[in-house]
Amino acid sequence: MHTDLVAALDIGGTKIAGALVDRQGRILVRAQRPTPAQENGETVMRAVEAVLGELAASPLWQRAGAVGIGSAGPVDASAGTVSPVNVPGWRGYPLVSRVRDAAGGLPVELIGDGVAITAAEHWQGAARGHDNALCMVVSTGVGGGLVLGGRLHPGPTGNAGHIGHISVDLDGDLCPCGSRGCVERIASGPNIARRALDDGWRPGPNGDASAAAVASAARAGDPVAVASFERAARALAAGIAATATLVEIDIAVIGGGVGKAGEVLFAPLRKALTEYATLSFVRRLAVAPARMGTDAGLVGAAAAALAGRTDTAVAGV
């Protein structure tokens, strides 16, 4: 049988999305369920099985030769298990074997969601053509992934590129992860909003106190809103510069809700990068907004499945 498609799963704390994807990264069939994140592990798994069942009901399913999973982390690709922070019912949960069973024994590739986004941006988005790249999602949390030497670098457990939880302020505020001064603790959307509120910014009549509202205020010139984005930009710059200094990347791609803030974020980010990325081999580092949309997780999971199956077939993955 000709298996020219893969099934992809994008598993987050809010929704479980699935798709059948072709070798050009086109999504041919979709399925989705809300994540019953606060239920027990078996209930969450039934939602995954429902998504897979809906995909399997398509006549195209018989052309699927593998399943790729991008999951909220941490994951353990070597053990085939996941322990998503926001899905407490899954701790060391054997997702790979369960999905293999549900998918009729197809081979399964598991990567973290930051790695999946990176696979997608490298395949079809802003990191295309770059052999050494960091791709980030700056949103409720801060995640990421790496392309090194032209290939996705998931690391042994599929978690590499976790830039949100490197410390750029070793005496800084405690982070929920247990460390201090993490990039996420300074630069995530909720932390941008919290800092603006702490420093006296007030939401408008609609009561919107999100980072997007702070971005609007910053665009309108509110100095407290501007300062909160500048602080986030400094933390991101220190983290991106650290990554470049450690592994030599030439581009950092930033997606997620905060990444959509535009020049309110990118202007101070570029300026701060000149302060932190100082060594000769990192000075030409570029930053760019992500190009993939909400399907990035699915497309990246598909890329991982295609790369795992064929080892070479996906351009650049």
Residues that bind a second copy (CB under 8 A): 74, 76, 83, 131-132, 146, 148-149, 153, 155-157, 159-163, 165-171, 175, 177-181, 234-235, 238, 241-243, 245-248, 250, 275-281
Q: With respect to a second copy, which residue has the nearer C-beta, 99 or 238? A: 238
Whole-angstrom CA distances from 309 to 78, 112, 174, 258, 313 are 16, 18, 42, 34, 9
Q: How far apart are CA 126 and CA 131, in angstroms?
A: 12
Cβ-count burial 124-157 (b if 16+ within 10 Å, e if not): bbbbeebbbbbbbbbbbbbbbbbbbeeebbbbeb
Residues 6+ apart with CB under 8 A from 90: 41, 44, 82, 83, 84
CB of 278 to a second copy, least distance (A): 4
CB of 236 to a second copy, least distance (A): 10
CB of 12 to a second copy, least distance (A): 18
CB of 136 to a second copy, least distance (A): 12
- Tell me, letter by letter, the H, E, C secondary structure of 97-153: HHHHHHCCCCCEEEEEHHHHHHHHHHHHCCCCCCCCEEEEEECCCEEEEEEECCEEC
SS3 270: helix
Q: With respect to a second copy, which residue has the nearer C-beta, 15 or 128? A: 128
Q: Which residue has the tokens 């990554």?
A: 243
Q: How far apart are CA 67 and CA 9, in angstroms?
A: 8
CB of 198 to a second copy, least distance (A): 17
CB of 186 to a second copy, least distance (A): 8
Q: How far apart are CA 163 and CA 185, in angstroms?
A: 11
